[in-house]
Amino acid sequence: MAELSTSRRLSPRWAPLVERAYEIAGLASDVVAPSLDVVVRVWLAQSLFTSGMVQTMDWSATVFRYAAEPPIPGIPPGLLATVGTGFALICPLLLIGGLATRAAAVLPLLWLVFLQITEMPLDTQLYEMLLLGLLVVRGAGPLSIDHVLAPHLPGSAIPFAASLSRIGPALTRYAQPAYLLLARLTIGGLLLRATGPWFGPGLTTSLIAVLVTVASVAFAAGLGTRVAALALLLAVPILPAATMGMDSRVLLTLLLAGFVLRGGGALALDRLVDARLRRLFPSLGSHADAHQRWLDGAPRVEIVGAGFGGIAAARALKHAWAQVTIVDRRDYHLFQPLLYQVATASLSPAEIATPIRSLVRGQANCRVLMARVGGIDLERREVLAGDRRIPFDCLLLATGARPSYFGKDAWEAHAPGLKKIDDATAIRGRILSAFERAEASDDPEERRRLLTFVLVGGGPTGVELAGAIAELARHGMRAEFRTVEPASARVVLVQSAARLLPAMPKALSAAARRSLEALGVEVLTGAKVETIDDQGARVGDMRIEAATVLWAAGVMASPAGKWLGAARDNSGRVVVGPDHAVPGLTGVYALGDTAACPGEDGKPLPGLAAIAKQQGQYVAQRIRAEIERRPLPGPFRYRDWGSMATIGRKAAVADLWGARLSGTVA
């Protein structure tokens, strides 16, 4: 792939490290920070609620306390005590759920400000004020009722709903940067004061004090905010006890953790550092136009197929100097392991289909084309997609697989497979229609045939589908019919091998069989299907009359191998080496169900989603290494994190990191 190598516009040597740091920061902000928001709300809520409960336990003392404090003109102490205690009990409940969070936070915030001004100022109250203020300007976060209700608020019947819906975003946009600056300066100043007793007693404590001082100054200035906040966070437990109580330490820890996860905000020196880094490392893509100029003349990497392998490869090339194109006949990425739940009406198709564009939305070097690929012109190095010809320098084929009927293609009309959403919705229609037709039938024999379901194949798909149909009949449709009893449905699982789930340990295969039989599924192992027609199937010498026969017995690869004229195995998969390159073709790779790649034991790896994802990441790393003239990774090695199969609602079998689980726990 020498034509991909170039000395132009290569990222600096440290680019992968910087890119990984940015990715970790983004992951922390998007994934971990929402959970921290919940912790902050719960901690503040329990503190407020405890205060409210204490006030209710001795009401006369509470009224006396409100009377002794500086009065609010025109409000009697008794009424003030009632209102204050009420808010102390109601606001915590709102904070925990994240409902009307800003209003629930602003009331105790104003009260703490009042106490801080009129009584003795306390650091603990100050930290609480900072946390409450963050809730006011930032909101409750994604894990809250507010986040769920926000899109529906403008069109609701609540008075002034449209105006209220604009307040939150305005606070976040305009007030949050200034508030974060204020919080950094306040926290930095308090920490500088707290380290005072450390100076002088000894060299070790003085050195720690100097480090904390430097970190505090950097944190206040917003220079390396995440790193400085992390250093201060680690120092909180060892701060002098005389300067900080336990409550203050907890509140300070929550504040610093927020800055570690989210950074210092817009009014921080980090913003200047970020701009400089993005100029030094163009792969970070500071602006779309600048990023596109950086990509001028970059190698063209075409990915055919937006399955697990194709998406993993595209995302792993996010920072590469490459023009990446994903071509797929559909505009969504399908989570195939849950297709059986769509087929049994447990999930809707939208819940397992994600738009491809949303998966690469933040990836400036990637575009998505919806087209059906019909061939590859290797001489001109072009992908043939309808009337289009898409040129490539590097090609990744991740085109997946389709059901294989082992030469009995006529069976497909009577026993559909499960590989696409269209398959799942068609099977769902068959299953539900069978129950409806049985309800309307007056013939007992016809009812039995309609309520008989035969599944061919005892792999994960067959096992999960059989369990889901049995659960649907025995629990999902309970008391919904008047003429027939859905629980009387007969579900038969046929497996030609000696046991179910042959890829799993024998103990788990046996557990899966027991779980299925507990649901009423008839399991036939070592049984071969002889014929399938519109009336049922013949298994060995036994005829099973069934209105619904479903196929989960095998798959075959897409025609990608034919497009390339490459060597293929019996399932049509392209034979590739440990680097996933197609032998004899420069810059052409195959992965996932399209490839027959040898594992450590020399046997081809199975077509699992986890394997396809790791293959996609590996091929992307190899392509980027070639583009940037870096050492190539070694041969692909699959890291097996385990596998599992779900059997109904309350049972599964799992082989995870060497631990073998079955039943409800699995």
Label residue 430 by pLDDT band (50, 70, 90).
very high
Alpha helical stretches, state H, 530-572: 560-564
**Cα–Cα dist 480/483, whole Å:** 10
**Cα–Cα dist 444/33, whole Å:** 60
Per-residue pLDDT, averaged over 233-251, amounts to 86
**Cα–Cα dist 298/289, whole Å:** 15
Per-residue pLDDT, averaged over 420-443, amounts to 92
Top-level CATH class of 411-553?
Answer: alpha beta
The yes-or-no verdict on residue 8 having pLDDT over 50 is no
CATH of domain 295-403+557-635: 3.50.50.60
Phi first, then psi, for residue 442 (nearest 5°) are -105, -5
Contact of 660 with 511, CB cutoff 8 Å:
no
Higher pLDDT, 403 or 643: 403
One fold for 295-403+557-635 and 411-553: yes
Active site residue 530: no
Angle at 120 between CA 115 and CA 121, to 5 degrees: 75
**Cα–Cα dist 78/254, whole Å:** 35
pLDDT tens sequence across 18-38: 888 888 888 889 899 999 999
What is the helix, strand, coil percentage profile of the chain, to 5? 50, 15, 30
pLDDT tens sequence across 477-487: 888 888 889 98
Task: Look at phi and psi of residue 658 and say left if phi exceeds 0, alpha if psi is from -120 to 50, else beta.
Answer: left
Domain ranges of the chain: 15-262, 295-403+557-635, 411-553
**End-to-end Cα spacing for the chain:** 46
**Cα–Cα dist 183/185, whole Å:** 5
Residue 401: strand pairing partners:
557
Give the pTM.
Answer: 0.79
pLDDT at residue 71, as a whole number: 58
**Cα–Cα dist 232/252, whole Å:** 10
Phi first, then psi, for residue 326 (nearest 5°) are -100, 125
**Cα–Cα dist 54/85, whole Å:** 9
**Cα–Cα dist 328/383, whole Å:** 12
Higher pLDDT, 163 or 619: 619
User: Quick one: tokens of 289?
Assistant: 């136009």
Higher pLDDT, 73 or 316: 316
pLDDT tens sequence across 313-347: 999 999 889 999 999 999 999 999 899 999 988 88
Higher pLDDT, 163 or 437: 437
**Percent of the chain surpassing pLDDT 90:** 51
Label residue 415 by pLDDT band (50, 70, 90).
very high
Higher pLDDT, 190 or 121: 190
Catalytic residue among 128, 302, 464, 628: 464
**Cα–Cα dist 666/652, whole Å:** 5
Cα 476 to Cα 43, 282, 450, 514, distances in angstroms: 40, 54, 18, 21
Buried b or exposed e, range 399-423, using 16+ CB within 10 angstroms: bbbbbbbeeeeebeebbbbbbebeb
- Ranges 191-200, 252-261, 332-341, most confident: 252-261
